[in-house]
Amino acid sequence: MKLHAFLRLIAGIMVLLSLYLTLYVHPNWVWFSVFIAANLIQSAFTKWCPMITILKKLGVEEEKC
């Protein structure tokens, strides 16, 4: 699996986890979803994503154009 596929997979899992925690643990977990959304929005403008940096350091391959 390539870098951006991992990124989408992790973001999707984190959103689902956040929704589960919000419904079954405590409503304040909704702020986890807000944090994920804010990171996705800022990465659209800055072209920098913290998770991409982490995945690269873990050795996940980037797609070739």
Q: What are the residue ranges of helices labelled H in 25-61?
A: 30-46, 50-57
**CA–CA distance, 7 with 65 (Å, rounded to integer):** 18
Report the pLDDT value the prediction gives residue 13, as an integer from 0 to 100: 97
SS3 content of the chain, % helix, strand, coil (to 5): 75, 0, 25
pTM greater than 0.75 (yes/no): yes
* Cβ within 8 Å of residue 33, ≥6 positions away: 15, 18, 19, 22
Model confidence at 62: pLDDT above 90: no
Tens digits of per-residue pLDDT, 8-54? 999 999 999 999 999 999 999 999 999 999 999 999 999 999 999 99
